[in-house]
Structure formats: C-alpha cells, structure tokens
Chain A
Amino acid sequence: MFSYIIRRLCYAIPILIGVNLLTFVLFFIVNTPEDMATAHLGDKYVTEEAVQEWIAEKGYDQPLFFNGDADGLGTLTDTIFFNKSLKLFAFDFGTSDAGRSIQSDVLDRMGPSLALALPTFFIGIFVNISVALMVLMFRGSSLDRFAVVVFVTLMSISYLFYIIFGQYYMAKMSRLFPVSGFNDGIDGWRFLILPIVIGVISGIGASARWYRSLFIEVAGLDFARTARAKGVSEAGVLFRHILPNTMLPILTGVVVVIPVLFMGSLVMESFFSIPGLGSYLLDAIRAQDFAIVRAMVFLGSVLYIIGLILTDISYTWADPRVRLS
C-alpha cells in the first residue's frame, strides 16, 4: 500500500511536468509577451515603450529557456521558464498582473469556495442516490418510466437557466433569500442556501439517472438473485447487496472530484457574488490576467491528481477484491 502510494506520487511528477510544459507553450510561445502586452494595453495609441515597460514590470523581459547574459546558475534561473513555470512546483505563484500576491489571494478565497462547494456536493450525492433508490424500488413500473423522462428533461435544461430562473423567482419575486452576496461568519448561511439548492437541483437529472442505471445493472447480477432466494426482503437486497456493490463505480465518479472542490464553481460564485476561487478565476479570465490563469491550471491539476490517488485508496476500502500493488 505504502509503496503503491509512493509510486503513484512519482508517476504524478511527469504528468505535472507535462501540464507545466503545455501551459508554458500556450502562454509564452503561441503568444509572446508582446502579444499579451498589446492585448492588455489595446492595439491603438500604444507606444513601443509602453509595451516594453509593461513586459519589464511583469517580469516577462527574460529569455524563455536560456539566459546567455547571466552567470553561472543564472543562465537557467533568470528565465521565464524557471521563474514563471518551474516555481509553480514550489507553490510559488508569484504576483498577478494586477500586482497582488496570488498565493495569499488563493488562501483567502478558498474558504468561501468550500463553504459553497462542500454542502452542494454532499447534499447532492445524498439526494441523487436517494432519488435513484426510490425509483429503483418501482423499476419496470410506469412510475419508473415517468421518472426517467423527468430526469432526461431536467438534464436537458441549461445550467445557466437554473441559476437565472432560481435567482429571479426565489430571490427577486418571492424574496425568500438574498439575491447575492456573502458574509463570513455564522449568519453567512442565508446567502448560501439558494446557490446550494440550485446547485443540487441542477444536478439531479443527470446524476440520478446515472445512479439508476448503475443500480439496475447491479440488481440484475446473480448475487442479487441469490439473496432473494435466501428470503432477503427487497429492501434488504437493495441496501445490503446492491448498494455496497455499486460503491466502486460511485467512488470512481465521486472521490476524484473532492480535492477539486477547492477550486469552487466558476459560474455559481460569480452569479451570487461569492468571493471564492471560482469568481477569482472568472475575473482573471475576463481581465485576461494570465498569471492567475496559469497558477490555477497548475493548482487544478495537482488537486486532480490527488483525487486520483484518493480514488485508488478508497477502492481498497470499498471492495475487498482490490489490492494496491
């Protein structure tokens, strides 16, 4: 087990290097710092000096890989690749184009992101599995067919529409909740309820449908029939035999997402003005602040890889047949 985790961590390094190289190529070779400067300062009425000044200010005035002007180690370290890409490995994200420290911004904004993402995620799983189990109880009946149609309808509605509609009717028309905003302490919950409810509802269609088909697949397996032949009641078959055997695919879909929850939700946070990482990133994208985007891409893939390793570990807990080696 221990050696397996070590090996997985070693395997993660080339992947992170790949992510790093990819972002580096995208951000510095496809588009040169000059391109970015003009994009920022506007095409017209901009002088060559202004462009150079912007580049120097952001630290993009170094060579890409190799600095012939510097001495010793400096030939490698005084380069864009080292300063902007390799330093990410030490979680040294540098400063944003607006001049703030990305690292402290990220730490500040993680809290609100989690306050929204965690409850949405776990309530969502609970609701979806419960709905799917309920539907499973009536499988083959017209209620089951009706439920499937409802699921497909729900998943055919745009995510944005849920948010727009929810905000409009729940907050604006019936004034049940504040339209948007965030508050740190305990009384912040009032701001969170609406986005959480919308987040859960918008996910029901696709997820409950997926869980249902998963359960049906397992319910058709031989051991479920064995259990019925033993005289186990239908509920007993469901909870003691079918549910534990669907843990593996459920965990595959679920565990990998947990670390990525730190990143927050781009759309939800900005709609409800929650100062989390999602809205941070969205602001960065809209302001074309590439330093932040770069840092978040890296952070995202680190979290994803952690999720993958956690998934593997959770397998051993869910299924005795899985041995990590």
Chain B
Amino acid sequence: MTVTMTEARSTAYVQTATSELTLKKQTVDKSLALSVSNLNVCLRHKPYTTILKDVSFDLKKGEVYALVGESGSGKSITSLSILRLLPDALTITRGKIALPETSLFALTEQEMGGIRGKKIAMIFQDALTALNPVQTVGAQIAETLKIHTSLSSSEIRERTVELFREVGLPDPEKRVGWYPHQMSGGQQQRVMIAMALACEPDILLADEPTTALDVTIQKQILELIKTLTVKRKLAVLLITHDMGVVRQTADRVGVMYQGEIIEQNVCEAFFADPKEAYSRQLIDSLPDMDEHRSLEKEASLLTVEDLKIHFPVRKGLFQRVHSYTKAVDGISFAIGKGETLALVGESGCGKSTTGRAILNLEKATAGNIWYNSLCVNQLTRREMLPLRKKIQVIFQNPFSSMNPRMTVGDIIEEGMVSLGLELSKEERIQRIESLLARVRLEPEHRHRYPHEFSGGQRQRIAIARALAVEPDLIICDEPTSALDVSIRAEVLDLLLELQRELQVSYLFITHDLSIIPHIAHRVAVMQGGKIVEQGLTEQVLTQPQHEYTKMLLDAVPSAH
C-alpha cells in the first residue's frame, strides 16, 4: 500500500516538471555527444555469426535517440559495445565508437574504467537483478562517486540524498540505508537512474528501462528520463521494443532488424511516413484504441459471486495464523456465451489467482463460482472432470506451458485422452492435424517438439491444445504479453476468429489496456483484490469513473 502512495506522490513531482520542459524544448542546443560508425560484432568462435552489421548512428545532447526492434535484433549488444562490456562470446570486428574528443576503442581497459559511469552511464532493464542485493542502495551510489570524484564521505552522502530527491524517491535520507529488495520495482529503477546520473555523465544508455514495470510506473519513469534529458542536456540512447514508448519519449528513431539499422528518422516524420515495410508493421502493431467490439447479449455461462481467496500469514513461536493476504477480496462478474470479458490490473492485483480459482486449481475461501448450474469451487477432483472439457486455459509464458519432452501431437492429445473423449486413435490424429491447420501450422508439426517452435507458434499450439476438448470457456492468462509486438497481433486475431467460428467465451486476463478494445466486449478493472470498475469496453475506456482506471488509461502509450 505504501508503495502506491509514494509512487503517486512522485508522479505529482514529475508532472510539474514535464509541463515546464515542453516550453523549453526548442531552445536546447543539440551538439554531437557520441557517434557510432560501421560497428560490426560477431561470435568469437565458430560459426562466427554476424550479430551487428555496419551499425551507425549519432547521439546528440539533450535528445533521446530510440533504438527499436524485436528481441534478438541486436539492440542491447549495441549498447554494451559502446561501454565495451560485450559478453566473452562476442567480439567487435570493425567500426568506431567515439566521443567528440576520444575514440573509445583506442583506450586501455583502465582508461575505459574512467569513461564508464563518468562520461557514459547505463540503466538496465531489470533493476532488481541489476542492483547488488547485499549492499545498501546508498553504498552502491557512493561507490560510483568514490571512483570518479574526490568528494569526502559526508559530501558523498549529501550528494546521494540529493540524487534520490532528484529522481523522485520519497524520504531520501531514509532510503539511502535500504537494500534493493525493500523497494518496489519503480523505486529500484529510480535508484538505477540516480546511480547512472551520479557523476553527471554526458551520455545515458537506457536498455529497456521500463519493460519490467507496470504501466502507470512505466509512464512516470519515462517522464523522469525525458525531464532529465532536457534539464541536464543528456544524450540518451533509449532501447525498447515498444512503439508506444518511442512515440512518447524519443526525438529520433532507429529501427533495428537482424543486426542492422534499416531506417532512421526524426520521430514525427518516422511515424507519419515510415519508409520500410518492417517499420510499418511495427507501427501497425500498436492497436487502435478507438475501435470497440459490440456485444450481443447472451445468457451468462459463468458467474462469479463475491469470490474471496485469502492466504494465511503465519508468525511467531507456534506459527499461528497471524493475518491473511487477501489476494482476491470479494469480486463478482459474469461471462456470457461467445463473450469476452477482460480482467485488467497491474501485477499482484489478484487477476491470475481468479483465473486459477475458476479452473478449480486454487481453493476459494468464500463465495461461489457457477458454471451454468454447477458450483465449480465445491467439486472434488473427480467431480470436476466433466467440467474440465468445458473450461480450458492458455498461459502467459509459451516456453513453460509445454512439456519439453513431449511431441506437439502428444501435448494436444493428452487432454482428449484424459478427459475420456470417445475417439479412436485415428480420429484423434485426424483432429490433431485439423487443429494444427486451424491455428495455421502444418499437420506434420505434430511429430516435432516444442523447442523447435518460436514463441508465437508455441502460443498457437497452446490454443490448439485448449481447443482440442471443445471448451465453451477459455481462460487466457496474459497470452500475448511474452510475445513480440508483431506476433501479438497475429495471436489476437486468431483468438477473435476462433470466437466467431466456435462461439467460445474468453476470460482475458491482462495488464495491457491497449489490446482490450480490440478483443474484449466488457472490461473489469481490478486493484488490490477488488474490482473497482466494470462495464462495456467502450463505456469504461471512454468514460472511466474510477480514479484508478483513469490513471491506467492515462499511462497507456499510444501511437496516435
């Protein structure tokens, strides 16, 4: 609870700062800060695969340069090359990276140590793992200052507190003595930023700085980076896969594809008129927030009444139940036939727990889940069996949702066998092949193993698996959030198409508001185990009533 409070307070701080900066934007002096020219990186050993090919771009002071591309396109390798911190397996074969006065490749390792953290600083994606877990955050910032400045220890302390205040950490004097695990994800990222800024570098490399964060916090962090860029005349390299983030933050854009920069342009011009087909595909993958799905009213299939799921917290000498974590705290909703209900909320709000309870994989503390006239949460494992044909699930992570030691055919077949569908072996194989065709894979793929498929293909196999038993309701637990943006749209379209054909209902659990208009008929917004607002998609998204819904909507990065 305290975390949300402090985050909210720091938002207020950032917002005042942003309004000032829009005015100043034009007056900033944009001199060259760093140039990368013809950078080539390849594997050190056989087969010497080329990772980066002739990458060239410039960073200018007071400007955010965004490098966009999908995972594996070479964005992070580019930023690590700048700091000369490539993994041992990679090596730079050609090219030049230079500050206005020095070429970085000409420096000794010791001289390079004087550049890192002092001239060029870096922010990493996952702040929790990027911070040393056994050192206080204050000490970690002090370390940078000790290396690059000659400040006394009391001055270092003062400077640290000042930095914490600047990045909007509440109660900075106290936070200095905290360990990373005591802070929220947003605060950890702020510490990372403070650490990067400690020695007033000219260049800031930000590698997916907000990907691990919830949308509302993502917005704050991006605004903070933007503010600092202008205020301190930083040259920022922002690495991201999210076109919304680019639109919101960047001054110039470079699109990276298979180790090459295929297009670069000023931000507005790029979005208005992308030159490459791939760039267009990236931009189009941002869903249209203005198009909503209409709804034909149907009798409700699933009804959740005042569902509560509490986990006991044990304490003391005898491990008595001390209190309860209220993961889900009295929620009610209903889903009709052929309807999609989106359950939206940030991590830890209880949305996935709700999904598991509907599948009877989690025990409800109180309340009821009705499927037609059956009370799901009171059925035993055996009694639940016939219902399992009706309710199916698709998980978030396509890499952990399939047993790596089974063939795709066996994976799809498993449900048909265990749920006693009366089919002969030939009929089952026939159905597997037709299902694979339906999710646009080849029938022969049933002999292959999951690791031979990409994330998007695996997610389609997961859909085929769920469809194999002909369910009426599919719980989709963040089915697209682990996928690259261009694949995301494909999977969503497939889900829509199947809904039209088969009249299945979806409970669509997601943290990503931007895909909701595309997929959902109705929306329920969850916060802290409660549903704070629910209604028709159009109504909720265009006229939000609750503060929290407004905040979520406000934070969605949009390409329009």
Kindly list chain B residues whose C-beta atoms are within 8 Å of the C-beta of A225.
85, 124, 130
Within 8 Å by CB of B132, from A140, A229, A241, lies A241
Instruction: Give B104-123 as 1s and 0s: 1 = Cβ < 8 Å from A's Cβ atoms.
Output: 00000010011111100110
| Complex Cα spacing A222 to B130, Å | 5
* CB under 8 Å from chain A, chain B span 158-198: 179, 181, 192, 195
Given contacts A245-B134, A318-B134, 5 further A-B contacts (CB under 8 A): A225-B85, A231-B115, A231-B117, A232-B113, A321-B179
Asked whether A100 is an interface residue with its Cβ less than 8 Å from the other chain, the reply is no
Asked whether B277 is an interface residue with its Cβ less than 8 Å from the other chain, the reply is no
* Closest chain A CB from B204 CB (angstroms): 11
Kindly list chain B residues whose C-beta atoms are within 8 Å of the C-beta of A319.
133-134
Asked whether B425 is an interface residue with its Cβ less than 8 Å from the other chain, the reply is no
Instruction: Give A215-230 as 1s and 0s: 1 = Cβ < 8 Å from B's Cβ atoms.
Output: 0000001110111111
B147 pairs with A222, CB closer than 8 A: no
Determine the residue in chain B with the shortest Cβ distance to A242: B132
Determine the residue in chain A with the shortest Cβ distance to B83: A229
Chain B: interface size category: 20 to 34
Asked whether A59 is an interface residue with its Cβ less than 8 Å from the other chain, the reply is no
| Complex Cα spacing A236 to B85, Å | 16
| Complex Cα spacing A225 to B143, Å | 14
Within 8 Å by CB of A232, from B126, B147, B319, lies B147
Within 8 Å by CB of A229, from B85, B135, B179, lies B85
Asked whether A3 is an interface residue with its Cβ less than 8 Å from the other chain, the reply is yes
Asked whether B422 is an interface residue with its Cβ less than 8 Å from the other chain, the reply is no
| Complex Cα spacing A137 to B12, Å | 47
Asked whether B131 is an interface residue with its Cβ less than 8 Å from the other chain, the reply is yes
Within 8 Å by CB of B148, from A222, A231, A318, lies A231
Interface residues of A, dominant DSSP: helix
Kindly list chain A residues whose C-beta atoms are within 8 Å of the C-beta of B315.
325
Interface centre among A230, A232, A318 (most CB of B within 10 A): A230
> What is the total of A-B residue contacts with beta carbons within 8 Å?
85
Kindly list chain A residues whose C-beta atoms are within 8 Å of the C-beta of B179.
320-321
Instruction: Give B351-365 as 1s and 0s: 1 = Cβ < 8 Å from A's Cβ atoms.
Output: 000000000000000
Asked whether B386 is an interface residue with its Cβ less than 8 Å from the other chain, the reply is no
| Complex Cα spacing A7 to B314, Å | 13
| Complex Cα spacing A6 to B316, Å | 11
Kindly list chain A residues whose C-beta atoms are within 8 Å of the C-beta of B317.
3, 6-7
If A228-B85, A231-B115, A232-B113 touch, does A247 touch B147 (CB 8 Å cutoff)? no
Asked whether A233 is an interface residue with its Cβ less than 8 Å from the other chain, the reply is yes
B147 pairs with A226, CB closer than 8 A: no
* Closest chain A CB from B156 CB (angstroms): 14
B118 pairs with A244, CB closer than 8 A: no
Asked whether B276 is an interface residue with its Cβ less than 8 Å from the other chain, the reply is no
A240 pairs with B124, CB closer than 8 A: no
B133 pairs with A226, CB closer than 8 A: no
Within 8 Å by CB of B316, from A3, A222, A227, A240, lies A3
Kindly list chain B residues whose C-beta atoms are within 8 Å of the C-beta of A230.
116-117, 121, 143-144, 147, 195
Kindly list chain A residues whose C-beta atoms are within 8 Å of the C-beta of B115.
231
Kindly list chain B residues whose C-beta atoms are within 8 Å of the C-beta of A247.
134
Asked whether B547 is an interface residue with its Cβ less than 8 Å from the other chain, the reply is no
Kindly list chain A residues whose C-beta atoms are within 8 Å of the C-beta of B124.
222, 225-226, 229
* Closest chain A CB from B129 CB (angstroms): 4
| Complex Cα spacing A225 to B315, Å | 38
Within 8 Å by CB of B131, from A226, A228, A229, A318, lies A226
Asked whether B427 is an interface residue with its Cβ less than 8 Å from the other chain, the reply is no
Within 8 Å by CB of A244, from B110, B130, B135, B181, lies B135
| Complex Cα spacing A59 to B102, Å | 89
B113 pairs with A233, CB closer than 8 A: yes
A223 pairs with B122, CB closer than 8 A: no
B121 pairs with A223, CB closer than 8 A: no
Kindly list chain A residues whose C-beta atoms are within 8 Å of the C-beta of B192.
226
| Complex Cα spacing A121 to B88, Å | 35
* CB under 8 Å from chain A, chain B span 138-158: 143-144, 147-148
Residue contacts A-B, CB under 8 angstroms, 29 given: A3-B316, A3-B317, A7-B319, A222-B126, A222-B129, A222-B130, A223-B129, A223-B131, A223-B132, A226-B124, A228-B83, A228-B85, A230-B121, A231-B113, A231-B115, A231-B118, A231-B148, A232-B113, A232-B117, A232-B143, A232-B147, A236-B143, A244-B134, A245-B134, A318-B134, A320-B133, A320-B134, A321-B179, A321-B181
B117 pairs with A229, CB closer than 8 A: yes
A221 pairs with B129, CB closer than 8 A: yes
| Complex Cα spacing A43 to B319, Å | 56
Kindly list chain B residues whose C-beta atoms are within 8 Å of the C-beta of A221.
129
Instruction: Give A311-325 as 1s and 0s: 1 = Cβ < 8 Å from B's Cβ atoms.
Output: 000000011110001
If A6-B317, A140-B88, A320-B179 touch, does A229 touch B134 (CB 8 Å cutoff)? no
* Closest chain B CB from A305 CB (angstroms): 19
| Complex Cα spacing A123 to B384, Å | 62
Kindly list chain B residues whose C-beta atoms are within 8 Å of the C-beta of A3.
316-317
Kindly list chain B residues whose C-beta atoms are within 8 Å of the C-beta of A236.
143, 147
| Complex Cα spacing A222 to B195, Å | 15
Kindly list chain A residues whose C-beta atoms are within 8 Å of the C-beta of B113.
231-233
| Complex Cα spacing A236 to B113, Å | 11
